[in-house]
């Protein structure tokens, strides 16, 4: 079986273990699936169970281990001629929101988010790529080529009949609002475009992802303000002059990965890596604001077969909060903050939690004098990229948000809500439980 991601990291997994139960086909991908020891801990009841889809309906097939059992059956030839299109497996995999909760919490670290990318690539290869998948996956390209898409999204959001048409034709839930790109995309201030270095000034690179660039450019400006206040010279990552279409913003390929379009994801990631290599070679930290985008440089990009450039970049890629916390630990952070009036509730993006970045968020928030804040104990917000917009998932998506996140927010209506992910902020704002901001925006407000 041809696989689309590089699974060589698992080549020794389960070898010499008579009980490993590695499926007959699938090579190293099968070994990654067989990492699960079928303990069924992910199917126990209780608040802390990792998998949000299992927490919603408590069906075994909708847990991490349940997905593994179905995948093993598929790889062992038990699900028929077209195993990846098998309805039971397809439903189980579609309900995985790629939160990486299992990678962090499963006792054997099953990486179902990565397995789902391979699964979707296999399904796309077997039965073609549906129109809705193409629409969502190519979003960065559409936003660049067709600036009028913002007006179309706004019309659709204001005209229920158009939303109903979109649900019937494309399967995009009429109940949910589409994100509306801003008319003023991110444009770096001129000083940040100049990579010349000053004596003794620390240079850092800011990665402005697709979502920040087209929907919330104010977050990038807030990050620039905070970093500049800390004395850093900020270079905004840009495509090189020799890149194809140098005016097109950089993109990590996340929307393609999320839909199993590996070739397109690889092309975007390569373009990004090419642009970052001079900065990586100069030892500059690469700082990102959107967790799923920045962290794909440290995770999924390494499985795209992009060689040493990907590995070198991964070592220097940091979330905004991780960078600040690292500087704090090294006693080189020169930021002072003033008190803020409101208390705050903090919702971590699943991928932030998966890499332990909430510890960094906590350390940085403690620098704000007398700041009253609390980290919300919750799993996925349920939006998960395009998942919450899909007609068949809209209700499950809201159910996931209601498990813990929305009740906690409603209980503290005056709190400032901080959320790291674009999808999380949309889920919260749409539910009317707050008007969330990014950590960079909060710190910008708190600059002394």
- Cβ-contact 406, 426 below 8 angstroms: no
User: CB of 409: closest distance to ligand SF4 in angstroms?
Assistant: 21
- Nearer to ligand SF4 by C-beta: 58 or 245? 58
User: CB of 35: closest distance to ligand SF4 in angstroms?
Assistant: 7
- Nearer to ligand SF4 by C-beta: 92 or 205? 92
User: CB of 43: closest distance to ligand SF4 in angstroms?
Assistant: 7
| Residue 93 dihedral angles phi and psi, to the nearest 5° | -70, -35
Binding stretches for ligand SF4 (CB under 6 A): 36-42, 50-53, 64-65, 67-68, 96-102, 106-108, 110, 112-113
User: CB of 385: closest distance to ligand SF4 in angstroms?
Assistant: 12
- Nearer to ligand SF4 by C-beta: 98 or 316? 98
- Nearer to ligand SF4 by C-beta: 107 or 377? 107
Which residue's structure tokens are 């699943």? 350
- Nearer to ligand SF4 by C-beta: 88 or 263? 88
How many Cβ atoms are within 10 Å of 127's Cβ, its own excluded?
12
User: CB of 397: closest distance to ligand SF4 in angstroms?
Assistant: 12
SS3 170: helix
The C-alpha atoms of residue 98 and residue 115 are separated, in whole angstroms, by 9
User: CB of 116: closest distance to ligand SF4 in angstroms?
Assistant: 7
Q: In the chain, what is the greatest distance between 2 CA atoms, to the nearest angstrom?
A: 66
Question: Nearest-CB residue to ligand SF4?
Answer: 65
Question: What b-and-e string marks burial along 332-347, b requiring 16 or more CB atoms within 10 Å of the CB?
Answer: ebebebeebeeebbbb
How many Cβ atoms are within 10 Å of 249's Cβ, its own excluded?
20
User: CB of 47: closest distance to ligand SF4 in angstroms?
Assistant: 15
Q: What is the DSSP string of 295-341?
A: HHHHTGGGGTT-HHHHHHHHHHEEEHHHHHHHHHHTT-----B---S
- Nearer to ligand SF4 by C-beta: 37 or 204? 37
* DSSP H helices in 76-129: 87-94, 101-105, 112-127
- Nearer to ligand SF4 by C-beta: 423 or 444? 423
């Amino acid at each position: 079986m041809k696989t689309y991601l590089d699974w060589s990291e698992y080549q020794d997994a389960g070898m010499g273990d008579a009980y490993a139960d590695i499926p007959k086909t699938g090579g190293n991908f099968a070994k990654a699936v067989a990492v699960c020891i079928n303990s069924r801990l992910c199917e126990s009841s209780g608040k802390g169970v990792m998998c949000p889809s299992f927490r919603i309906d408590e069906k075994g097939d909708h847990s991490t281990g349940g997905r593994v059992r179905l995948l093993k059956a598929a790889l062992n030839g038990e699900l028929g001629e077209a195993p990846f299109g098998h309805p039971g497996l397809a439903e189980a995999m579609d309900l995985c929101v790629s939160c990486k909760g299992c990678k962090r919490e499963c006792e054997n670290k099953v990486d179902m988010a990565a397995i789902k990318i391979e699964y979707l690539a296999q399904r796309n290869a077997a039965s073609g790529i549906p129109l809705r998948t193409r629409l969502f996956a190519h979003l960065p390209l559409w936003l660049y080529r067709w600036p009028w898409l913002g007006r179309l999204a706004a019309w659709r959001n204001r005209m229920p009949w158009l939303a109903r048409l979109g649900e019937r034709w494309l399967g995009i839930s009429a109940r949910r609002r589409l994100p509306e790109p801003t008319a003023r995309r991110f444009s770096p201030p001129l000083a940040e475009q100049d990579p010349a270095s000053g004596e003794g000034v620390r240079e850092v690179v800011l990665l402005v992802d697709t979502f920040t660039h087209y929907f919330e450019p104010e977050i990038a400006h807030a990050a620039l303000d905070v970093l500049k206040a800390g004395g850093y010279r900020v270079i905004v990552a840009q495509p090189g002059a020799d890149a194809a279409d140098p005016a097109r913003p950089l993109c990590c390929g996340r929307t393609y990965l999320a839909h199993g379009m590996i070739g397109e994801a690889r092309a975007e990631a390569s373009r990004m890596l090419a642009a970052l290599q001079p900065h990586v070679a100069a030892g500059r930290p690469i700082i990102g604001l959107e967790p799923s985008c920045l962290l794909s440089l440290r995770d999924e990009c390494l499985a795209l077969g992009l060689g040493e450039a990907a590995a070198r970049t991964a070592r220097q890629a940091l979330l905004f909060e991780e960078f600040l916390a690292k500087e704090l630990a090294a006693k080189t952070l020169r930021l002072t903050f003033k008190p803020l009036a409101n208390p705050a509730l903090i919702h971590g993006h699943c991928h932030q939690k998966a890499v332990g970045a909430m510890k960094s968020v906590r350390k940085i928030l403690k620098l704000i004098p007398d700041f009253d804040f609390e980290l919300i104990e919750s799993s996925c917000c349920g939006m998960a990229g395009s998942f919450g917009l899909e007609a068949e998932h809209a209700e499950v998506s809201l159910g996931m948000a209601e498990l813990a996140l929305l009740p906690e927010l409603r209980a503290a209506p005056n709190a400032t809500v901080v959320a790291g992910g674009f999808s999380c902020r949309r889920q919260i704002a749409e539910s009317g439980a707050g008007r969330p901001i990014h950590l960079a925006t909060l710190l910008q407000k708190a600059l002394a």
